[in-house]
Structure 1
């Protein structure tokens, strides 16, 4: 991990080096923060989806990978999770064939989250998703 920006308020942000250990570190950071916020019920799915997005970033990016969580503070709000990398090309959800080894990460995000999307940034892109709080 390169750095932690804020983990005390309603937002937590981390920056990870583009190396294989980033996936494990991002999963652990997300689980720990959700536990701290009392959102344990979202920890497994959030960690899985972050794992998919960080893995995608590792495959395509050479620079740092950002992970950001925004805690819901009002009833009906969802947990917002963002994964950013320095590559400007927005990912596309694709249909993976049964014999394909990859290509299912965004499908998993799309089918598991309540909403998801991408947006360009000043130095790359962000893929985000929301998880409804039970």
Structure 2
């Protein structure tokens, strides 16, 4: 699924480091499903999964340097990566892609960090293009979103969701 999952001392702050592979998008969705289920917030899964997919895809395309078809994300030119089928090379291999979910009732934050210092830019929607609408989806499915540079290298893109009151099942699972 990933290169590693770390659960902090706070059960409401969970992170997962994603391998620089195209399968990272699926891993991010699986991580979101497991985490939200543990919090009793299954009803948020569809929205969080869609946004997580978009943010991780953007990290792979722009921070890792290639699109799923193996072309450069910036100009459509053949990419210098992947070095192995399905594997991407980070601009700065010391900074992995990481997804984090934070639950502070009544909200959930989905954050994706990557090695690129360039912030995301929503493009004019082109209804004929196969890509370019991801940040419009993020904006539509969240209460708010934004990004911040990270000290040293990279950035984090975050999305805020309004969470329904936690179910008794979620509270029970955590107390076991």
Deviation of residue 14 (structure 1)? 0.5
RMSD: 1.3
Aligned-pair distance for 1:54?
Answer: 0.5
CA distances 1:7-55 after superposition (whole Å, capped 9, x unpaired)? 6611100010111110001100111110010001101110111001101
Distance in 2 (alpha carbons) for counterparts of 1:15 and 1:95: 31
Q: CA deviation at 1:113?
A: 0.3
User: Matches of residues 1-134 of structure 1 in structure 2 within 5 Å?
Assistant: 1-6=2-7, 9-62=11-64, 63=90, 64-73=96-105, 77-122=106-151, 123-134=153-164
Any gaps of 5 or more consecutive residues in structure 2?
Answer: 65-89, 91-95, 165-176
SS of the counterpart of 2:129? coil
**SS of residue paired to 1:71:** strand
Per the normalisation by structure 1, the TM-score is 0.92
**Separation (CA, whole Å) in 2 of partners of 1:94 and 1:113:** 18
CA distance in 2, matches of 1:93, 1:87: 16
Structure with higher Rg: it is: 2
Q: Which structure 1 residue ranges, 4+ long, deviate > 3 Å from structure 2?
A: none
Please report the TM-score for the alignment, with normalisation by the length of structure 2: 0.71
The worse-fitting range, judged by mean Cα deviation, of 4-13 and 110-119 is: 4-13
Count of aligned residue pairs for this structure pair: 131
